[in-house]
Structure 1
Amino acid sequence: MPTLTIIDTFGFLFRNFYALPPLKSKKGIPTGMITGFMNFIASLGKEFPTDYVVFTLDSKEKDTFRKEIFKDYKANRPEAPEDLKVQLPIAIGLIKEMGFKMIEMPGFESDDIIASLAKKAANDGIKVKIVSHDKDMYQLIDDDKIVIFDPIKKIEINEEKCKEKFGVHPKYFKDFQALVGDSSDNIPGVKGIGVKTAAKLINEYKNLENIYENIDKIKGALQKKLIEGKENAFLSRELVTLKTDLFENINLEEFKYPEINPILKVADKLIDLDITSVIDRVKKNGLFVKTKEPTKQIEFEAIILENEKELFEIIDKIEDNIVSFDTETTSLENPKIVGFSFAFEENKAYYVPINHFYLGVSKQIDEKIALKAIEKILEKKVIGHNLKFDFKMLKNYKIKTPTPFADTMILGWIIDPDSPVGLDSLAKRYLNHQNIKYKEIVGKNQNFSEIDIKTAAKYASEDAIITLKLYEVLKEKTWEEVKWDIENIEMPLINILIDMEKEGIKVDIEYLEKLQKELTQKLESLTKEIYNLAGSEFNIKSPKQLSNILFEVLKLPVKKKTKTGYSTDEKVLNSLKNTHPIIEKLLEYRKFDKLLTTYIIPLKEYAKKDKNQKVYTNFLQTGTATGRLSSKNPNLQNIPTSTEINIRNAFITDKLFVSLDYSQIELRLLAHFSKDPHLIEAFLNDKDIHLETAAKIFGKDNAKEYRSIAKSINFGLIYGMGPKKLSETINVSTKEAKKFIEKYFENFSTVKDFIEKTKVEARKKGYVETLFKRRRFFDFNSANARTLAAYEREAVNTIFQGSAADIIKKAMIDIKNKFPSSKMILQIHDELIFEIDNKNQAYEYKEIMENAIKLEVPLKVGISFAKRWGELK
């Protein structure tokens, strides 16, 4: 079952501060709390696995709704120690840089956000672990759905542990707290009533209302205390009761645990703080440069150009030199230009202010003149860092952007595709230079246009000069074989991706609304059917309640036990398919619920924001280690292919869509690299490769019957599938699966030789290479047996996936070079989708794709046409 971990940020950090020794960095910065926190983060992905993570923060507004109820709420909180104050913003910054989602809501405390998230997620069938030391959280505990997690003791606090500690069940905890009070939050409670007395009262009467309705039955001093404290009791309950209705919906994708180890994203900052032990726990070869030397800040002169004549004179001086270029904008979303910087000399960088806007702003360059200056700079050998952002913004001003001479973000990724490639990170790693942070000069409610020009110039000029110096270092670190790929593939691809992103794809909002209505009705109908089959009503999304129905009431065979009971995850349900009709209905319910909440509703909301009803994805060139493009905001590469609930049909065109899809490209690459005669012969003669494989393993007479198994084996071997995984995929025993794999290798011995040779060479060299010589590195030397096996699988897979990525990128460029006006809309791994006016264009694109590169076997591209994406075959 998926797990969401919710972390009470300030509460957790405060606890760390007081629990750990007062460590300090060599520069005298206190680091004890940060060290403890980062050790927890390092454990989060391994010792405490979780699918989703979110950090919650208290509102910065001091006057929350509880203050309105009781002005003395939290009035006795002491001032935080200075060392704690220093570390808090550093820790918050690290959380953001690691890529975790943080939520803060004006007027509400972290506890209310936690409660609302927990209830919503639990109702959606997600197990929730709350990392907090606040007693208020105990009221949320609901076995198998919501637990409190103690990372020090490494235990989950459930209903039983709550009763052990406080003597009451979590559902009565608010009333228990109302009696006991809480001195740390200045919650009065009932004077003179302690934990034991409160527990006894709650166990007998359950809540405050029942206590006071039966006050005559309570005798002596206790009755007097209760009567005198009645007002405080009800006030206290109101204060401790957490809000659970702050979210109508939550997008779990925003909380997804980062794919790149989050520690690695902040490795340079941790080194600067002398917190290196946590890095050693997750170290990988080449991911960062350890140094004990103090940071050597690069000195340079930041020159403001506010005179038109001087600006063009300086640009003329660039001549044939490489020039680093960067823009400053109002925002990341719908950006407007504020200024630009450039550098081409050893220790000088220039800033051109254009649209700064604040009281007393000095002279600036007129926007039209500035844009002409930019056009002139772009005629030079232009480099930058993430130029896709700058160029995309400049296209809004009708500026034609060239193919960049180089992009340091892409160079950094080519050299080390598993590491962070932000400018700050690369500067620290390769230049030992600490860049000025954006947040240090731009306030929370400001944008760059409001920043003093002198301050802006220093910040912007630094980006330009550091990019220039970084380029000099990185170009020396790239190996000769990959330079063709950088110049002819990765750099030209930048403008192609910009065009694709700006084009977008139209969405049929009415169609999505119809799907939403249809799925909502289906879920309602399925709910009734499930209730009828279960014999009672229950919360379908509650693993505990579902477990009770399946294994206690219906007595279905138990497949998997967890610490908290019986598992009801998808794998378990699939294994129970033939045991009871309720299982099919539950799987159907989960499928429809996911389609509705993950795709239909979010896509509809994206499209509604655009006047053309389009959605615009962002393609990431450096988003994967294999080289494949990735997509985000929204991710259009993982839209389900199901035809039953056809979400892809929501994407429409006024012209015609054409899909051009490389057929079995990774198997063709397997034939190319392994030079296996059987595979080559099959592809040269355009035979059904899976049927041919089935014939080799199971005999010609059985080939058709076993084709699907042969297909699973063919693709499985590329992805490093072993007997266990294959047995689960094709529903046979592990022993049988092992025999199938052995039989395959008997018939395709050169394939086995190639795979084994790849593993040996990868361990020897520490890397593998794709078709276009891009490398991916693996730290085999420090790997344990399990990690070693994973590295070997990834090494083999990288050759195929990475080479397929190389080929389709080249095809994209070849098409754009021959047909500059072609409208490429989407790239989904091995498939390209275009908007076209006539079918003849598409067949020319197909020919280009099939001739993108010559392999030992021919490349083949499937083609289909439709007005809706979902109708493409």
Structure 2
Amino acid sequence: MKTITIIDTFGFFFRSYYALPPLRNSEGFPTGLLTGFINLVDSLHRDHGTDYLVFALDSKGPTFRNEIYPEYKANREAPPEDLTKQLPIAIRWVEKMGFANLAKEGFEADDIITTVTKFAREQDMKVKVVSHDKDLYQLIDDGLVVMYDSIKRKEIDEAACIEKFGVNPKDFVDFQAIVGDASDNVPGVKGIGVKGAAKLINEFHTLENIYANIEKCGTPRIQKLLLEYKESAFLSRELVKMRDDVYDDLDLSKFVFEERNYLSCLIDEFEKYEMKRALQKAKVRENEAGCHDITPPKPKTPLLTFESITLDTKEKLNEVIDELSKDILVAFDTETTGLDTRTDKMVGFSFCTSNEKAYYVPVGHSYLGVEEQVDPEDAVFALQKLMKHKIVGQNLKFDLSLLYNQYGMEEVLPFADTMIMAWLTDPGSRVGLDSLAQKFFKYDMKPFKEMVKKGENFSHVNIADATFYAAEDAWMTFLLYGAIKKKMELSSLTHLLKEAKDVEYPFINVLIRMERLGIKVDQAKLETLKKTLSEDLHRLTSEIHELSGSEFNIRSTQQLGVVLFQQLGLKGGKKTKTGYSTNEAVLQSLKHEHPVIGKILEYREYHKMLSTYVEPLLKLAKKDEKSRIYTSFIQTGTATGRLSSKDPNLQNIPVRSALGRSVREAFVAKEGYKLVSIDYSQIELRLLAHFSKDAALMEAFNKGTDIHMATAIKLFGEDEAKAKRNFAKSVNFGLLYGMGPKKLSDELGITSAEAKEIIANYFASFPTVKNFLEGIQERVKIDGYVETLLRRRRIFDYENANGMQKAAYMRESVNTVFQGSAADLIKLSMNDIDSMIIDEALEAHMLLQIHDELIFEIKEDQVEKISKRFVHVMEHIWELEVPLVCSVSVGDSWGELK
């Protein structure tokens, strides 16, 4: 990991001035600050080992904080004259040595540092901030971002922050909001000091949470102070919070720190100020480069350019579209007021048909003095003509969903989607437009946040600026289509171009339909569950406090650690930099040590269910007049090929716990319909039999016997098989996920030796399985990839991996073959079932996919007939060496489905 060192320039100079003796030359000119600065530069290579270096400076004049609070820093005394004499010289030296230095009007050095840190972390660099300014403690992130005290020559990490202030760096902004800062005239909450603030923050973490629980915040005096200075607290937080958007883009390569003697170009200056030690350090030794050997970086000029054209009348728009030849490739993109395609509106659309130019059609810009735009009706008419061409997009699911939902446009079968193409080429890589532009063309796209101000949307962007931004998206998509297609052809991946055309692109419309349908929620059930969970949490809180003998914030891991391992004296507590670890594994290991542990685990489960599922789902249901919840499916969200779901994620609602099932019971069928689940039975084990062609496995599946019982008989014999069926089940599934003896011993509660013996017996009983699984892993080492049933590839850079990564690749490669192939089968089934529903106008809707399971809403009187047809599709979607089998479950709620 490369390191970037950011120096808080003025902060360092001030610290240096006060830390060193008041040195002077023979004429009485002060040189202490300058000496400290030279000592730092000299020590950089030796003590820091940094790859990049940048000096951050405050700008002259007021900052945005003075606009928020005119009294900000109003009480600061003027710095000593000796210091102000040396400052301009030191800054001149920074420039003379060729170091990067950043300042921007209206911002402080701290904001510059925060912005550089953000860009550095995006590029996986470690950040070292040379400063003693406590405001910057909010940036500390162990192992990734540390502060460095150049006088004491030590790093300041999370532990140091907690030791000094009593709070974690991630809570530091809210902590400062209460404490305030007299030196900067940040008011805070008067009367509450560091210890009082730390206690509040460790319990509640944010100001919002403090004021939401004000009656629990300490003594009546503390509560009164908090209420009295509430406005001051929130103002203070605005003042102390660092900005990370000072620059929209930064080329960190310009800050490279080279193996040179940077001091060599200051020899004349050192002689002038009689700095003898500095002179010695500045002399260039043999084989050492001096600062004059630095080659200034050449200015970056984009290798790719294009012309962006505004089509702001229907005449201009139709003229361009009508001239397009029938078979021309059209890259297409939309700009919208937000990301919800059911409710947000189109602001404009862009398209591109060549490498040289791209067009933008403004439709819904809304600001004072807005220029001419195309009428929405005329735009939709033109779009209908445009969509008859070969449409290419980047994440077309979004754009097409918008056109279908807002304008009732006829379904479009995409010609290509560059995001899906990039994902198929390397499913573990980043497939966003910005990342792909960098990867294929080293091109920097214009950032969205540079276009849209905070609190506004794209409709507020002036049309001239919007034209370049939007046209650039379409133009880059056009270029990427050619580049990715060429890469796929050169990499012998043309079969994936066919897979995309036959499977992935039709699947886009299947997902759009599912997203638009949503699933109904019974609000009354959720309200009841919310009330019950809240009451249970209140009861559990009292029980935990009573059992532990003290009152504390159960959700605070720090407080919980102290109670368990210091007050109750439980053994096995491992202290980390932020306190004792109290994760689930630790608590499970202590379950039989004290009755409070079981209650804490129960509390955590109830709280997670309430805050992660019940409350958010209820909130979403209330927004919809039909009380339906709408998720977004992500086609390219996993490396194995499985679908993922977000906003909300409906694929991870627990199914094994009673609480999880109670949440699922709130998902219901609409009136006159039933919910139907069709689930592939033991799909991954059937795929194992298919791929490995193991005779024993194939015989078991072809005869329809219980595969886990068959495995148990082979492993443990007829007499013990029934009792040890679950052991066999754990082994059957565990081996597909790279389970080793330790994991198996933990899961089954047996010794590692017994687990090893069971695994050895398994492979002896199913000999071709072992050969097949080892063959997958060998192919990763040789070929660097594995393939699924549809020959989708997952890349593993085994050759350049470290030991830990190689072990992970061995597990993931096996998992990908089976999980990825199962994903192929269900995707093929979904395409066919969706076509059946549409073509025959069946009274059935496909609502959700939960990995190997599909959930439908089917007309009550047609459930049996339609379910059988769907099962037939799923069981005959692909001819395996063993039969595919599905199980069907029917109910009024998701919770009733097995």
Tell me which interval the TM-score lies in, with the shorter structure as reference length: 0.7 to 0.9
The answer on 1:306 being equivalent to 2:312 is yes
Q: Post-superposition shift, 1:159?
A: 6.8
Q: Post-superposition shift, 1:405?
A: 0.4
1:420-473 residue CA offsets vs partner (Å, 9 max, x unmatched): 211122112112322233333333344333333333222222222221111011
In 1: Cα distance, 2:389 partner to 2:792 partner: 27
Tell me, yes or no, if the aligned pair for 2:158 and 2:577 is still in contact at 8 Å.
no
The match for 2:543 is 529
Tell me, yes or no, if the aligned pair for 1:12 and 1:132 is still in contact at 8 Å.
no
1:648-668 residue CA offsets vs partner (Å, 9 max, x unmatched): 112122121111111111111
Tell me, yes or no, if the aligned pair for 2:418 and 2:481 is still in contact at 8 Å.
yes
Amino acid at match of 1:464: A
Paired residues for 1:373-412 under 5 Å = 373-395=382-404, 396-412=406-422
Name the CA shift for 1:762/1:605 in 2 (closer, same or farther; >3 Å): same
Amino acid at match of 2:718: K
Paired residues for 1:800-815 under 5 Å = 800-815=818-833
Residue from 747, 767, 772 that aligns with 1:729: 747
Residue from 346, 351, 356 that aligns with 1:337: 346
Deviates more, 1:851-860 or 1:310-319: 310-319
Percent of aligned positions that are identical: 44
Deviates more, 1:506-515 or 1:532-541: 532-541
For normalisation by structure 1, the TM-score amounts to 0.73
Amino acid at match of 2:795: F
Q: Post-superposition shift, 1:550?
A: 4.3
The match for 1:789 is 807
Q: Post-superposition shift, 1:545?
A: 4.9
The match for 1:868 is 893
In 2: Cα distance, 1:832 partner to 1:537 partner: 46
Name the CA shift for 1:771/1:456 in 2 (closer, same or farther; >3 Å): same
The match for 2:445 is 435
Paired residues for 1:178-217 under 5 Å = 183=183
Q: Post-superposition shift, 1:719?
A: 0.7
In 2: Cα distance, 1:682 partner to 1:357 partner: 67
Amino acid at match of 2:853: E
1:118-144 residue CA offsets vs partner (Å, 9 max, x unmatched): 9xxxxxxxx999988799xxxxxxxxx
The match for 1:585 is 599
Amino acid at match of 1:649: E
In 1: Cα distance, 2:730 partner to 2:9 partner: 48
Q: Post-superposition shift, 1:567?
A: 4.2
In 1: Cα distance, 2:778 partner to 2:11 partner: 48
The answer on 1:698 being equivalent to 2:716 is yes
Tell me, yes or no, if the aligned pair for 2:186 and 2:236 is still in contact at 8 Å.
no
Q: Post-superposition shift, 1:297?
A: 3.5
In 2: Cα distance, 1:687 partner to 1:187 partner: 74
Name the CA shift for 1:413/1:242 in 2 (closer, same or farther; >3 Å): same
The match for 2:291 is none
The match for 1:281 is none
Residue from 519, 522, 536 that aligns with 1:508: 522
Amino acid at match of 1:311: L
Name the CA shift for 1:15/1:728 in 2 (closer, same or farther; >3 Å): farther
1:664-685 residue CA offsets vs partner (Å, 9 max, x unmatched): 1111111111111111111111
In 2: Cα distance, 1:784 partner to 1:292 partner: 36
In 1: Cα distance, 2:137 partner to 2:678 partner: 46
Amino acid at match of 1:540: I
For normalisation by structure 2, the TM-score amounts to 0.71
The match for 1:853 is 878
The match for 1:836 is 858
Name the CA shift for 1:241/1:131 in 2 (closer, same or farther; >3 Å): farther
The match for 2:727 is 709
In 2: Cα distance, 1:183 partner to 1:246 partner: 15
Which structure has the greater CA radius of gyration?
2
Amino acid at match of 1:83: L
Tell me, yes or no, if the aligned pair for 2:846 and 2:856 is still in contact at 8 Å.
yes
In 1: Cα distance, 2:345 partner to 2:121 partner: 24
The answer on 1:605 being equivalent to 2:619 is yes
Indicate the SS of the match to 2:587.
helix
Q: Post-superposition shift, 1:513?
A: 1.7
In 1: Cα distance, 2:116 partner to 2:428 partner: 24
**Structure 2: runs of 5 or more not aligned:** 1-5, 16-36, 45-50, 57-62, 92-100, 106-111, 125-132, 167-171, 200-224, 239-246, 259-296
Amino acid at match of 2:891: A
The match for 1:494 is 508
Amino acid at match of 1:529: E
In 2: Cα distance, 1:407 partner to 1:615 partner: 27
Tell me, yes or no, if the aligned pair for 1:384 and 1:407 is still in contact at 8 Å.
yes
The match for 1:574 is 588
1:283-332 residue CA offsets vs partner (Å, 9 max, x unmatched): xxxxxxxx999564423232333343443343232321111111222222
Indicate the SS of the match to 2:857.
strand
Q: Post-superposition shift, 1:696?
A: 1.0
Amino acid at match of 1:597: S
In 2: Cα distance, 1:92 partner to 1:130 partner: 10
Tell me, yes or no, if the aligned pair for 2:73 and 2:184 is still in contact at 8 Å.
no
Q: Post-superposition shift, 1:161?
A: 6.0
Q: Post-superposition shift, 1:392?
A: 0.9
The match for 1:6 is none
The match for 2:241 is none
In 1: Cα distance, 2:370 partner to 2:720 partner: 81
Amino acid at match of 1:620: I
Indicate the SS of the match to 2:705.
coil
Paired residues for 1:265-304 under 5 Å = 296-304=302-310
The match for 1:774 is 792
Tell me, yes or no, if the aligned pair for 2:55 and 2:102 is still in contact at 8 Å.
no
The match for 1:262 is none
The match for 1:825 is 847
Name the CA shift for 1:11/1:189 in 2 (closer, same or farther; >3 Å): farther
Deviates more, 1:578-587 or 1:478-487: 578-587
Indicate the SS of the match to 1:400.
coil
In 1: Cα distance, 2:184 partner to 2:236 partner: 26
In 2: Cα distance, 1:610 partner to 1:75 partner: 58
The match for 2:669 is 653
Tell me, yes or no, if the aligned pair for 2:328 and 2:353 is still in contact at 8 Å.
yes
The match for 1:27 is none
Residue from 678, 683, 692 that aligns with 2:701: 683
Amino acid at match of 1:392: S
In 1: Cα distance, 2:667 partner to 2:381 partner: 38
Name the CA shift for 1:128/1:634 in 2 (closer, same or farther; >3 Å): farther
Name the CA shift for 1:276/1:188 in 2 (closer, same or farther; >3 Å): closer
Name the CA shift for 1:405/1:756 in 2 (closer, same or farther; >3 Å): same
Q: Post-superposition shift, 1:635?
A: 0.8
Q: Post-superposition shift, 1:160?
A: 5.9
In 1: Cα distance, 2:733 partner to 2:78 partner: 64
**Structure 1: runs of 5 or more not aligned:** 1-9, 24-29, 36-58, 100-108, 119-126, 136-149, 164-169, 191-197, 207-233, 248-265, 278-290
In 1: Cα distance, 2:556 partner to 2:143 partner: 15
Q: Post-superposition shift, 1:555?
A: 5.3
Tell me, yes or no, if the aligned pair for 1:631 and 1:637 is still in contact at 8 Å.
yes
In 2: Cα distance, 1:527 partner to 1:177 partner: 30
Indicate the SS of the match to 1:342.
strand
Amino acid at match of 1:731: G
The answer on 1:453 being equivalent to 2:463 is yes
- Give the number of the structure with larger relative contact order, counting CA–CA contacts within 8 Å between residues 6 or more apart: 1
Tell me, yes or no, if the aligned pair for 2:188 and 2:236 is still in contact at 8 Å.
no
The answer on 1:315 being equivalent to 2:321 is yes
The match for 2:485 is 475
Indicate the SS of the match to 1:156.
helix
Deviates more, 1:392-401 or 1:86-95: 86-95
Deviates more, 1:816-825 or 1:629-638: 816-825
Tell me, yes or no, if the aligned pair for 1:766 and 1:780 is still in contact at 8 Å.
yes
Name the CA shift for 1:14/1:483 in 2 (closer, same or farther; >3 Å): farther
In 1: Cα distance, 2:783 partner to 2:367 partner: 57
The match for 1:816 is 834
1:570-610 residue CA offsets vs partner (Å, 9 max, x unmatched): 22322233344333222212211221122112222222233
1:544-575 residue CA offsets vs partner (Å, 9 max, x unmatched): 55445545565554365656775443223222
Name the CA shift for 1:409/1:543 in 2 (closer, same or farther; >3 Å): closer
The match for 1:228 is none
Paired residues for 1:118-129 under 5 Å = none
